Structure formats: structure tokens, C-alpha cells
Amino acid sequence: MSGLRVCSKCKVQKPVEAFGKNKSRSDGLRHYCKVCACAAAADYRARNPDKSRLAAAAYRAEHPDKVQAANKAWREAHPERQRASSTAWRGANADKVRADHLAWSAANREKRRRWNKIWYENNRDRIIAKTVAWTRANPGKHNAATKLRKQILKQHTPVWADTQAIEVVYVKAAEWGFDVDHVVPLRGKTVCGLHVWANLQLLDRKLNRSKSNRVWPDMP
């Protein structure tokens, strides 16, 4: 198949590659060029919205593989439009996105923890800046959280605790740039630790944040 032919719609002579295929015709080509065929199809869809919707649904049901492959090819050919359209979709379906994310998180707790840790390490400066900004913008909430933390410490401090020794640990930690950590977490799932000198240790900041309330060295 080679040469030129005239489109019966726009009457322009075009190379045969500019025409779609039609097996039922003797020359195997459609009589409209691709541009005209496309415009005619769009025009038909505009005039028959219900019919074309049904036809499209029927086609999708009959050729799921073809549709999937075509969609994939389109996404790969238009990455920026694909990104824009998925951003728009997430914006319009925020509740569903949130619910899906929560369900996934609940089903993949270890994975989520690992990813959170990597994410924290990669975005440390940004997270700290955001936290500082949030603290400034929400002094009331920040004070409440600080108060709660103090209250929890107080609840876990027995009368016999050496408060001076505890204080020294905190002063030294601040001096050396460490976090003070409770070896047995104060609010562990199975056991609660005490806010006493013997239950304190200095930890590298990153390590403490990744530890959360799960494990300690002699965990039963």
C-alpha cells in the first residue's frame, strides 16, 4: 500500500498513512482521513452522548486487556498530563484517598514504619522547620502537649526517685546533643517503665525517634 488518496470529507490529497484501516473496503482504507475521522467521531459523541457512553462501556467490558494497554500507553506518552489528572482525581476524592491510606497503613504496619523512618531521615530539616512553625502558630496546643508530657513523667516518678540524678542526665543530654530515653517505655503496650535514673539512657536522636514504644533491651 503506497501513494496518495483524496479524503472524501476534506477533499485534501494525503499519503495513505494518513488514513485509518477499514477491512470491508476494497482498498482496505477508510474514506475519511484520520483527522476528519477523529472530528466526525467527536461530533457523533457530542450528538449522541448516551449511545456513545454505552458503546464505550460495552467495548471496555469486551476488551479489558486492550483498554488497559491503551491507557498504559497513553500514560507513558503523557506523563505530565497523567500526573495532573491523578492529582485532580485525588483532590476530588480526598475522603476515599484518606480511607484507603488508613486501611493500607493498618494492614502494613511494619512497612509503614520503615517508610516513615526513611521519610523522616530524608526530610529531617523540613520536618523540624514545620514543627517549629506549627509550635509558634499553636501555642495553646503546644503547651497542652508539654503539660501532658510533664504529667506523664510525674505519674511515672515514684516517691523514692532521685530527682537530682534525673536532672543531671537531662542537663548532660542537652549539652551533648542526645535525647533522654526511657529504657522501658513509660507507656509501653504491655509494661510501663518508671521515670527513675536507672531507667534512663542517652540515645542518638535518630535512633530514639525510630524506636517508638515497642522494644527495650531485656524485653520479656
Q: Which is nearer to Zn ion, 7 or 203 (CB)?
A: 7
Per-residue x/- marks for Zn ion, 29-68, CB under 5 A?
----x--x--------------------------------
Residue indicated by cell numbers 485532580? 88
Binding piece for Zn ion, criterion CB under 5 A, among 1-9, 78-86, 133-141, 171-179: 1-9
Q: Which is nearer to Zn ion, 21 or 136 (CB)?
A: 21
Label residues 183-211 b or e (16+ Cβ within 10 Å = b): ebbbeeeeeebbbbeebbbebeeeebebe
Could you say which of 5, 9, 30, 75 contacts Zn ion (CB under 5 A)? 9
Taking the alpha carbons at both ends of the chain, their separation in whole angstroms is 80
CB of 25 to Zn ion, least distance (A): 16
* Residue type, position 74, single letter: W
CA distances in angstroms from 170 to 12, 174, 196, 199, 201, listed in the order given: 85, 6, 12, 13, 10
Residue 10 binding Zn ion, by CB under 5 A = yes
Angle subtended at Cα 109 by Cα 131 and Cα 188, rounded to the nearest 5 degrees: 70
CB of 35 to Zn ion, least distance (A): 6
Q: Which is nearer to Zn ion, 29 or 36 (CB)?
A: 36
Task: Give the torsion sign (CA, 112, 117, 118, 123).
Answer: positive
CB of 118 to Zn ion, least distance (A): 55
Q: What is the DSSP string of 64-104?
A: HHHHHHHHHHHHHH-HHHHHHHHHHHHHHTHHHHHHHHHHH
CB of 47 to Zn ion, least distance (A): 19
Binding piece for Zn ion, criterion CB under 5 A, among 7-15, 60-68, 117-125, 173-181: 7-15
Beta-bridged to residue 180, according to DSSP, are 202
Q: With CB under 5 A, what is the number of residues at the site for Zn ion?
A: 5
202 closest CA partner among 216, 186, 215, 183: 183
Q: Which is nearer to Zn ion, 7 or 194 (CB)?
A: 7
CB of 7 to Zn ion, least distance (A): 3
CB of 45 to Zn ion, least distance (A): 18
Which spans of this chain sit near Zn ion (rule: CB under 5 A)?
A: 7, 9-10, 33, 36
